[in-house]
Amino acid sequence: MDAEMQAEAGHQHGYIGSKDAYLKRLRRIEGQARGLQRMVEEEKYCIDILTQVSAMTKALQSVALGLLDEHLSHCVVDAAREGGREADEKVKEASDAIARLVRS
């Protein structure tokens, strides 16, 4: 990726600065998914499995809230500064994503 594309990508994707941190969190979530399979495989007690599912859901939500915060800070704020219809579209898109998170 050349410098210009990188600048462009940096502009659009506010989470890139913390890319490694997000990858680490997602790998841990992948590990939780494997842990759940092991629990089902070994016929662990249902309530203990549910406790792990709740922990994994919380970890996922926390990743989503982090990404959303960076998206608002960078992408939405930048679009607002540039003005025009772009800002409205970015807000609409963010609001729709928030609604999906709240309802999931």
Binding-residue total with a copy of itself (CB under 8 A):
67
Q: Judge contact between 68 and 94, C-beta under 8 A.
A: yes
Q: How far apart are CA 70 and CA 13, in angstroms?
A: 8
Residue 89 binds to a copy of itself (criterion: CB under 8 A):
no
Q: For residue 21, which amino acid is it?
A: A
- Considering only residues 6 to 25 of the shown chain, the ones binding a copy of itself according to CB under 8 A are 9, 12-16, 19, 22-23
Place of tokens 């990508």: 9
Residue 69 binds to a copy of itself (criterion: CB under 8 A):
yes
3-state SS, residue 41: helix
Structure tokens at 97: 């994503």
Please report, as ranges, the residues that interact with a copy of itself according to CB under 8 A.
Answer: 9, 12-16, 19, 22-23, 26-27, 29-30, 33-34, 36-37, 40-41, 43-47, 49-51, 53-58, 60-61, 63-65, 67-73, 75-78, 80-81, 83, 87-88, 91-95, 97-104
